[in-house]
Chain A
Amino acid sequence: MSDTHARTTAFVRDTMLPEAPAPIAQRGAVKWLRENLFSGWMNTALTLASLYVIWWLLAHITPWFGNAVWNANSLAECRAILDGRSGACLGVIRDRWHQLLFGFYPPQHYWRPVLALVLLFGALAPMLFSNLPRRLLWLSALYPFVAYHLLWGGSIWIPVVAAAGFGVGALAWRLITPYTALGAILAALVTPILWWVLAAGAVAGALTSVAPLGLEFVRSDRFGGFLISLVIGISGISLSLPLGVLLALGRKSDMLLLRSVCIIFIEFIRGVPLITLLFTASLLLNYFLPPGTSFDLILRVIIMVTIFAAAYIAEVVRGGLAALPRGQYEAADSLGLDYWRSMRLIILPQALKISIPGIVNTFIGLFKDTTLVVFIGLLDPIGLSNAIRADTSWNGIYWELFIFIGALFFVFCFGISRYSMYLERKLSRGHR
């Protein structure tokens, strides 16, 4: 066998060939291009179409930004400088950025909203990063009062007295708990309300007359621009989450009446556009409240936005609750936990984790929807862009303002969505 083999084989290589590089079409950029962009006629057509789109966009946008004029005090001046070329008139941003950000907030007090925003990140830190000491959460709980005082100002005793209401409630609970648990809960609910309704005004007034401390008061109608979007958005977000969770629990409750009330509420709110709720806040609330009551428009809007977002969050959380296996509920019951403990310790942590993407989407939607307040006369960025255009020197300017406002919203919303993705990855336990 080996003989025949040796005879018929004319040549046997006994050394290895030197390693040759892969053909040019199979490596590096060429291979990548062939595989990703030109793998077939369809793909090639798509690539060429995309290249055309990109080129078209760049051809229009680049000169527009390239020729941007910053140093102009009116659109006419801008056009004179541009001399017929296409170009952005960013002078309007330089001239009016403070209005787009703060509205008509007094310029000498700009540090107050800025400080409130910085403190917000401080207050959020203990909630976002679980490795910080838990005691910092007390500072987060104080934040709403600090922020209120920074933004609106007035006597410092108003937020202090309001915060004291919670202290009164806690105190009542402490005092009564040894005697009767139920009474303690009732007292903890009732005493703060009594405090706010009966005592708070008088106490705050007395303290103010004794020690008139506080920042200068800024009226709500001076608020505007991105500041108002943030105030409404952030208050709405933080208030709607607990309310939404409660509504979701109510909708899954065994009690018929409670469940029906929650379902009717949720479906009603989800069925009407936000704008009708805002009009209700601005036009109809006067009908529903006792004669002579009137309170701040921003506060009314915050309430409406909160209710609106809470209904959506309730649906998202309900999805999370439904996605939990039944065994989790049964396990919690078999441990002997009562309803609230089983919810707090077993069910909600898991359900909320599942619902994070939906909750964040609701938040982003809520934040974008704050622009609707322009319809009831609040000066959000879009309302201000109309106001700026009404000025003779900037009459007819559109794109620069729209791009600036759009970019502000984009940065915030995109940032939130990326953070939620990070949170999802961090919280995922590797099983579905």
Chain B
Amino acid sequence: MATTAETFPRKVFRPSMLLYDKRYRSLTIQVVVLFLLMGFFAWLIDNTLTNLAALGRDFSFRFLGQTAGYDINQRLIDYNSQMTHGRAAVVGLLNTLLVAVLACVLATVVGVLAGVLRLSNNWLVAGLMTVYVEIFRNIPTLLWILIIFAIMTEAMPPPSAFRGEDATSSMLLWDTVAVTNRGVYIPEPLFSRSLGVIDMGSFLISIDLLAIVAVVGLSIWANKRLLAHATAVQNATGIRPKTWWKSILILVLPIVALLVVLGFHLGYPELRGFNFAGGTHLRNSLIALWFALGIYTGAFVAENVRSGILAVSKGQTEAAFALGLRPGLTMRLVILPQALRVIIPPLISQYLNITKNTSLALAVGYMDLRSTLGGITINQTGRELEGMLLMMLIYLVISLLISGAMNVYNARVKLKER
């Protein structure tokens, strides 16, 4: 035994081992890569500094504090042209998030419907849905945005068509919604006994909204407690107390009471002068972006939903039936939890795509982050380097947040294997 040990060569380090010994080679490669990378970045930064110096510029984000001087036609927070570039960027960011959320909701609804209907036994419906999915998936988003924008601006009646005795157009849904070539006017929520706003310095918070959020949150929490209590009683006695009417009371009554107290009513759009007034004005750019992204991405979501449902094997349904579960319960307790595990991750990456695709807002003049910070601000201040970097960083943060949420979800629903 001792002799075999001695026949091995003693461990001496020779320089050639840096290349031919697997243990050291990876170290060598990494060091080389590190130097190459450092050299590359040094080269980039040196070039940038040289170029900036040649242009007589510095690298600073002070332009964010300067007066913007341009108007933004759609804003969720208070803004006027005397405010700073930084605030304009925030307005743009909020617009980006607004259209992204709207499009995500629409894409989910459309996608789930289309995906389920594509699996329907009805030949006609399944065929129609296949046509929808294939047509929308295979034509660029940008084209869909332009098409829907053109439909809104070219094919819809002008506000003047709503005027007079023999109006050629009429408002929809009992005279509450007006679809015109200048945008869609919908009723707006108003409070006659409003609680006012809190001034947070740079932005205002409506107390009404806070109250509504608080009440809804409390009701949901109370309802959860009620259901937990019912489950506890069921576990103890075997009989589940009836909770549905209590649930409805808890969920509906407080919010209705609050709305009555606040004097909630709807403000309807009316034709005044050459245009509609009152109500909420959804601009064509918002509608085009919202519907194009929603319906386009809906086609992808439909495919995810379809493959998710198909991924649950038939044996699962049969096993559930064998246990005596009814079809509704089978769907809720057996099929959906398994299908959702397949559906949700690609669904979230579709949400990510929607968020990134909102940057196409440029095509229809929607004032999103790219059009404010990455567009007019850059053009006015000439700070394309800083502006683009900041914009990329913001998009990156949003994306990382969404994918972080996806990772959390994936970890939660991961198959618990031994």
A residues in contact (CB < 8 Å) with B: 35-37, 39, 43, 46-47, 50-51, 53-54, 182, 254-258, 261, 267-268, 270-276, 279-280, 283-284, 286-291, 364, 368-369, 371-372, 374-375, 382, 396, 398-399, 402, 405-406, 409-410, 413-414, 417
Contact = CB atoms under 8 A, between A and B. Distances in A.
Given A46-B122, A279-B388, A410-B135, A261 B140 contact: no
B138 A414 contact: yes
Contact of A37 (B19, B117, B124, B146): B124
Interface stretch (B50-58, B78-86, B215-223, B283-291): B50-58
B121 A54 contact: no
A261 B140 CA distance: 32
A371 B143 contact: yes
Q: Say what secondary structure dominates the interface of chain B.
A: helix
A182 B124 CA distance: 64
A258 B30 contact: yes
A408 B368 CA distance: 30
Contacts of B51: 286-287, 291
Interface residues of B, number: 53
B121 A276 contact: no
Contact of B139 (A182, A273, A409): A409
A77 B382 CA distance: 46
Contacts of B37: 261
Given A272-B399, A275-B360, A288-B47, A409 B30 contact: no
A410 B138 contact: yes
Interface string B154-183: 100000000000000000000000000000
B400 A276 contact: no
A287 B385 contact: yes
25 contacts: A37-B122, A39-B121, A47-B122, A258-B33, A271-B399, A272-B396, A273-B359, A276-B359, A276-B374, A276-B388, A279-B374, A283-B384, A284-B388, A287-B385, A288-B44, A288-B48, A290-B47, A368-B141, A369-B140, A382-B146, A402-B150, A406-B143, A410-B135, A413-B137, A417-B138
Contact of B122 (A36, A273, A371): A36
B147 interface: yes
Given A284-B385, A398-B150, A398-B154, A291 B47 contact: yes
Contacts of A405: 143
B29 interface: yes
B384 A284 contact: yes
Contacts, number: 145
A46 B50 contact: no
B370 interface: yes
A405 B146 CA distance: 12
Interface string B92-129: 00000000000000000000000001001111110010
Q: Say what secondary structure dominates the interface of chain A.
A: helix
Interface string B387-414: 0100110011001100000000000000
A271 B353 CA distance: 9
A413 B133 CA distance: 13
Contacts of A375: 362-363
B281 interface: no
A36 B123 contact: yes
Given A50-B125, A271-B400, A275-B359, A287 B143 contact: no
Interface in B181-208: none
